[in-house]
Amino acid sequence: MYIRLPKENKDQIISKLQDYFYNKRAEEIGNLGAENLLDFVLKEIGPYFYNQGIMDAKEVFEQKMLSIEEDILSLERPILNKRN
């Protein structure tokens, strides 16, 4: 699975990669080099982040479902068993 990014986001990330290499490693990489690095990260590493996001969303969903179940059960009315 390949993660697709809007062009604007991809351009921003490429710029951040170039800044990182320049500021932290004293290296300059061009647009093509940064884009190739980004493509590698998206293809090879991105699925780990994506899957973690799915697991986080699943956990939030399960918590919401438990909360809804509690809310629904709180609406139950007691049944009185009166015998004459």
- The residue extents of the domains of the chain are 7-73
What pLDDT is attached to residue 24?
Answer: 98
26: region left, alpha or beta (phi > 0 left; psi from -120 to 50 alpha) = left
18 neighbors 38 (Cβ within 8 angstroms): no
Q: pLDDT-based confidence at 63, cuts 50/70/90?
A: very high
Q: What pLDDT was estimated at residue 1?
A: 60
At 16 the three-state DSSP class reads helix
pLDDT, average across residues 2-19? 94
The answer to whether the pTM exceeds 0.85 is no
Contact yes or no for 17/29 (Cβ under 8 A): yes
